[in-house]
Structure 1
Amino acid sequence: MKVFVTGLRGIPGVMGGVETHCEELLPRLARINPDIRIEVCCRAAYVDPALRSFRGVGLAPLYAPDTTSSEALVSTLIGVLHAWRRGAEALHIHAVGPALLAPLAKVLGMRVLLTHHGADYDRAKWGALARRMLVLGEKMGMRFADRIICVSPSLAQRMQQRYPFAAQKTVFIPNGVSPPDPPDRPAAEVLRELQLQPGRFVLCVARLVPEKGLDYLIEAFRRSGDERTLVIAGAGKKGDAFADRLLKEAAPDVRMLGMQTRSTLGVLYRNASLFVLPSFHEGLPIAALEALSCNCPVLLSDIQPNLDLDLPEQCYFPVGDVEELAARLGDHDPTREHAEADIPAILMGWDEVATLTASCYREMVPLQACATRLRNAG
């Protein structure tokens, strides 16, 4: 079976929740299912053009415009055409904006799997026209996709209620979690290089974009009088005004580390006194899942995708509430009870996520249909 993947910036090593999802999921899909050949339609500006495969997954660097408003749509259009020319049986679209091209993929004879990562139209950065296009993308995806995966239970329930005609083909499969890569050198050495002390810093792992709430996290941290260091690991798009403004907040009490490797993130998760995620918008937060898998206490905004983790009440604060967040940070141990709480039932290994996703592929493209295509091609 030939499956092409589009809607993401690319892999490997590209910052973003969808990109992390694909980097973890797709190589496992290829390894567990050797009869499924996977190729990712990458946006050329984000990936090494000389790298044409990653852990058994093909990579195709394709043109994408360098503009926020049209980048995803144009790159997905090019990806759909590329997949069609290469004889794809199935197209795996990630996110609702790129799902605008689901009807075209169907017209061209491909089966379509949509992974819905969250209500992108709720992001603050979009204007009225962009939001309408994203809502339309969701509608097109729900109408024309053969299978729909939602990464959080509340999202799946909402989609089934909003689009009852698609309820039977909509399933919940969470973002997976796996322990970060083991460090290639002692953790003490990594922390020393980053000028951090174990248990003396608060960690946030997020892209430098408005919906992550990093600006009010910094304000709340400074109001709290906390003597620890606030560490933010993540990057923004080069030249982005919001990201540049956040980087100017760097100081001895606020460390902006930029994008870090998974092994370094593992050291940070395991040595932070607290992980904070103040987002206004998430799908199912992979960074929070990784922190939990490393037994790091967490403090999350009370948006529904975070509530889907079903953590104790003290692990949440009202989203956007600077004063409450400052008070919780000033408490120095706001999640003591959570440190002894059970790991959330929603945590699922990436291998299991890959197995469930492969089942969706096989439901869309039965083996008999694949065999017929191969005979015809021969």
Structure 2
Amino acid sequence: MKLCAVGLRGIPNVMGGIESHCQQLYSRMVDEGFQITVIGRSPYLPPQPEPFQGIEVRSVWAVKSKFLETILHTLLAIVYARLFVKPDILHIHGIGPALYTPLAKLLGFTVIVTHHGADYDRQKWNGFAKTMLKLGESLAVRFADKTLVVGRSLTYKLKRRFNKHAAKIVFVPNGALTGVDQTLSEDKLPRDLGVKAGNYILAVGRLVPEKGFHDLIDGYRKSKSPLKLVIVGNADHEDEYSTSLMEQRSGNVIFAGRRQGDELHALYKFARVFVLPSYHEGLPIVALEAISAGTQVLASDIDPNLDIGLPSDCYFPVGDIHALADKLTRLDRLKLKLAKDAFLARFNWDDIAQETKQLIEQTLARPKTQKQAVNE
């Protein structure tokens, strides 16, 4: 069975939640008769990418632009998939790329869309972009053969909003990394950051407004925390926001850039606390990874973060700088511990990959109904 994935920047080790999702998911699906091709974007991949853990990776030209990159590349990727890959399943990631779901159906694909979050809530988009993202969500639900949703709350909302298509909407969460070396030692921490185990607060993500790093910096400075603040990540497209964040760096506010491998795993493992101040998420992989590393988490109280099911002390009102500052000040008095093994059982990539494979097989086994979505 051949599956082709579009809508993402690429793999492996390309920054982004969708990219991390695909890297973890497909590396577990590629055996047992599944042939998987990921079509990525040329600015993030070498011209001739090497296969990754049995996954074929192809680089197709893309313009690096905040507003045009995804929409133009997805169109090229779908046409490329039709002409050269010819898969049994086209797997579209994200509701922006899902604008092309009807086209993919007209080209004869069986289509699965993974809905990674309500991107129209992102602060960076203007009114037109938000409208198009909502349209992409609607087209995904109406025309795709199956829509997988990473957030439990969002799944319920979509089933209510698109009740005629509810049977095609399925909750399939992101997972937590379980293969991290638990014997990883403190000497794997990046030496250039000047941090030690337990003496820093960690945040990880792209430098975009919806991640709330501006709130984190303000809350940190208002707190009485003796810890350093380390923010890992960079901006895909440098702009006024990312520049303004970087201008706030100091001896205690450290922008670490992008980290991966043992360095990133060590930063997770030895942080005193991981903070996720987001205004928008799908189901935050970075928080799952922090928890799987054994690190306590503080998160904003948006629905996708609440879906993780952390203790109440772990949450603060989104955008409330004073509440966040208070949490950082009182870390030692908060009840942040959770049952790690039970948590990992709920967000297990191996189980998620098996469920996804079963859903794909069930979708392909159904009689062809290409005209059904068009007639609705």
TM-score tier (shorter):
over 0.9
Tell me, yes or no, if the aligned pair for 1:234 and 1:259 is still in contact at 8 Å.
yes
- 1:49 paired to 2:40: no
Mark the CA change 1:49 to 1:185 in structure 2 (over 3 Å): closer, same or farther. Answer: farther
- 1:22 paired to 2:22: yes
Number of equivalences = 366
Mark the CA change 1:189 to 1:119 in structure 2 (over 3 Å): closer, same or farther. Answer: closer
Name the amino acid aligned to 2:353: A
Shift of 1:84: 0.8
Give me the whole-angstrom Cα distance separating, in 1, the residues matched to 2:188 and 2:238.
32
State the partner residue of 1:290. 289
SS in 2 for 1:220: helix
SS in 1 for 2:259: coil
Tell me, yes or no, if the aligned pair for 2:180 and 2:293 is still in contact at 8 Å.
no
Tell me, yes or no, if the aligned pair for 2:232 and 2:257 is still in contact at 8 Å.
yes
Tell me, yes or no, if the aligned pair for 1:177 and 1:347 is still in contact at 8 Å.
no
Name the amino acid aligned to 1:79: A
Give me the whole-angstrom Cα distance separating, in 1, the residues matched to 2:128 and 2:323.
34
State the partner residue of 2:145. 146
Where do 5+ consecutive residues of structure 1 fail to align?
A: 370-378
- 1:163 paired to 2:171: no
Name the amino acid aligned to 2:13: G
SS in 2 for 1:171: strand
SS in 1 for 2:337: helix
Shift of 1:345: 7.0
Name the amino acid aligned to 2:155: A
SS in 1 for 2:125: coil
State the partner residue of 1:73. 71
Where do 5+ consecutive residues of structure 2 fail to align?
A: 369-376
Shift of 1:315: 0.5
Q: What TM-score results when the alignment is normalised by the length of structure 2? A: 0.93
Give me the whole-angstrom Cα distance separating, in 2, the residues matched to 1:36 and 1:368.
21
SS in 1 for 2:357: helix
Give me the whole-angstrom Cα distance separating, in 2, the residues matched to 1:183 and 1:247.
32
SS in 2 for 1:319: coil
Name the amino acid aligned to 2:153: S
SS in 2 for 1:344: helix
Name the amino acid aligned to 2:74: T
Tell me, yes or no, if the aligned pair for 1:25 and 1:354 is still in contact at 8 Å.
yes
Mark the CA change 1:263 to 1:246 in structure 2 (over 3 Å): closer, same or farther. Answer: same
- 1:220 paired to 2:222: no
Give me the whole-angstrom Cα distance separating, in 1, the residues matched to 2:234 and 2:183.
23
State the partner residue of 1:201. 200
Tell me, yes or no, if the aligned pair for 1:93 and 1:114 is still in contact at 8 Å.
yes
Name the amino acid aligned to 1:61: S
Q: Give the alignment's Cα RMSD to 1 decimal.
A: 2.0
Mark the CA change 1:317 to 1:368 in structure 2 (over 3 Å): closer, same or farther. Answer: closer
Mark the CA change 1:253 to 1:5 in structure 2 (over 3 Å): closer, same or farther. Answer: same
Shift of 1:225: 2.7
Structure 1 counterpart of 2:59, from 61, 65, 90: 61
Name the amino acid aligned to 1:201: Y
Name the amino acid aligned to 2:269: R
Q: Deviations over 1:100-145 (max 9, x none)?
A: 0000110011100010011000101000000000000001100110
Give me the whole-angstrom Cα distance separating, in 1, the residues matched to 2:212 and 2:235.
13
Q: Deviations over 1:159-213 (max 9, x none)?
A: 1111112211111111011236439974225354531111111111111111000
Tell me, yes or no, if the aligned pair for 1:180 and 1:265 is still in contact at 8 Å.
no
Give me the whole-angstrom Cα distance separating, in 2, the residues matched to 1:38 and 1:157.
30
SS in 1 for 2:159: helix
State the partner residue of 2:8. 8
- 1:259 paired to 2:258: yes
State the partner residue of 2:94. 95
Give me the whole-angstrom Cα distance separating, in 1, the residues matched to 2:184 and 2:324.
35
Give me the whole-angstrom Cα distance separating, in 2, the residues matched to 1:167 and 1:220.
41
State the partner residue of 1:374. none
State the partner residue of 1:131. 130
Shift of 1:367: 10
SS in 2 for 1:64: coil
Give me the whole-angstrom Cα distance separating, in 2, the residues matched to 1:177 and 1:16.
15
Q: What TM-score results when the alignment is normalised by the length of structure 1? A: 0.92
Shift of 1:251: 1.1
Name the amino acid aligned to 2:47: P
Give me the whole-angstrom Cα distance separating, in 2, the residues matched to 1:176 and 1:185.
21
Mark the CA change 1:101 to 1:75 in structure 2 (over 3 Å): closer, same or farther. Answer: same
% identical equivalent positions: 40
Name the amino acid aligned to 2:90: L
State the partner residue of 2:374. none
Worse-superposed segment, 161-170 or 279-288: 161-170
State the partner residue of 1:278. 277
Mark the CA change 1:329 to 1:180 in structure 2 (over 3 Å): closer, same or farther. Answer: farther
Runs of 4+ in 1 over 6 A off after TM superposition: none
Give me the whole-angstrom Cα distance separating, in 1, the residues matched to 2:118 and 2:185.
40
State the partner residue of 2:186. 187
Give me the whole-angstrom Cα distance separating, in 2, the residues matched to 1:59 and 1:261.
20
Name the amino acid aligned to 1:170: I
Tell me, yes or no, if the aligned pair for 2:202 and 2:271 is still in contact at 8 Å.
yes
- 1:315 paired to 2:314: yes
Tell me, yes or no, if the aligned pair for 1:211 and 1:281 is still in contact at 8 Å.
yes
Worse-superposed segment, 301-310 or 237-246: 237-246
SS in 1 for 2:30: helix
Give me the whole-angstrom Cα distance separating, in 1, the residues matched to 2:17 and 2:216.
20
Name the amino acid aligned to 2:91: H
Give me the whole-angstrom Cα distance separating, in 2, the residues matched to 1:68 and 1:25.
26
Q: Deviations over 1:292-344 (max 9, x none)?
A: 11221111000000011121110100000011111111113254x22254543
